[in-house]
């Protein structure tokens, strides 16, 4: 058991048999009354976000979450196969655990997999990835650097919005948290 002084971003709590990850917290000491901790937590399995307040010094139960570096190998039906970079063991991660991150996964890409009691909880992608645009409509003459956006399909099958001047087979940098276009990559 821990108490509210152990609350930090990324800590996973066990509440009513479910795992909740702290995504934001704030220690508050009002002029009157006792101090408290205001938290914003995300359910690890469902993704639901809730706000919860704890009195200062309240006991909380933390869960042990093992974060390790893995390399994505391939997709096997609905499951995704990852290899542990330290001992080369392979694990299968179910599709629902991967969720929207599948739109940014390329073979041989390194990610962090969070595990609890041997079961994968979620994966953490790098903040941005470089992907190739497999299809987009051609831009119109005069649409060069400013203006609107158009849909583009990435090599992973995910669709994002890109500026009108971006063409097919262009490598682009994409934010994995929001799916936003960050720029072209020239290599």
In the chain, what are the domain boundaries? Answer: 2-60, 66-124, 128-184
Instruction: Find the angle CA(65)-CA(96)-CA(62) to the nearest 5 degrees.
Output: 20
Could you read off the pLDDT of 13-32 as tens digits, one per residue? Answer: 999 989 998 989 999 999 88
pTM of the model: 0.73
Give the pLDDT score at 144: 56
Q: Where are the alpha helices (DSSP H) in 72-168?
A: 95-98
CATH number, span 2-60: 2.30.30.30
Task: Give the right CATH number for 128-184 from 3.40.190.10, 3.90.660.20, 2.40.50.140, 1.10.3720.10.
Answer: 2.40.50.140
- Name the band, by pLDDT with cuts 50, 70 and 90, for residue 52: very high
Q: Which residues contact 147 (CB under 8 A, 6 or more apart)?
A: 163, 164
Return the CATH number of 66-124, one of 2.60.40.10, 2.40.50.140, 1.10.150.120, 3.20.110.20: 2.40.50.140
User: Is the pLDDT assigned to residue 143 strictly greater than 80?
Assistant: no
- Are 2-60 and 66-124 the same fold in CATH? no
- Please write the tens of the pLDDT for every residue from 57-73: 899 999 988 889 999 99
């Amino acid at each position: 058991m821990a108490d509210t002084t152990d609350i930090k971003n990324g800590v996973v709590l066990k509440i009513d048999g479910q795992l909740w990850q702290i995504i934001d917290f704030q220690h508050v000491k009002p002029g009157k009354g006792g101090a408290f901790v205001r938290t914003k937590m995300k359910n690890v399995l469902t993704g639901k976000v809730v706000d919860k307040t704890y009195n200062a010094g309240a006991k909380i139960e933390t869960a042990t979450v093992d974060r390790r570096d893995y390399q994505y190998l391939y997709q096997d039906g609905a499951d995704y196969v990852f290899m542990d970079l330290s001992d080369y063991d392979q694990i299968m991660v179910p599709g629902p655990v991967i969720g929207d991150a599948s739109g940014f996964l390329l073979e041989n890409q390194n990610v962090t997999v969070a595990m609890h009691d041997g079961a994968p909880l979620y994966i953490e992608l790098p903040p941005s990835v470089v992907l190739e645009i497999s299809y987009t409509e051609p831009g119109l003459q005069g649409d060069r650097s400013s203006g609107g956006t158009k849909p583009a399909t990435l090599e992973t099958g995910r669709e994002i919005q890109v500026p009108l001047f971006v063409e097919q087979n262009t490598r682009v940098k994409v934010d994995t948290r929001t799916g936003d276009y960050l720029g072209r990559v020239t290599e």
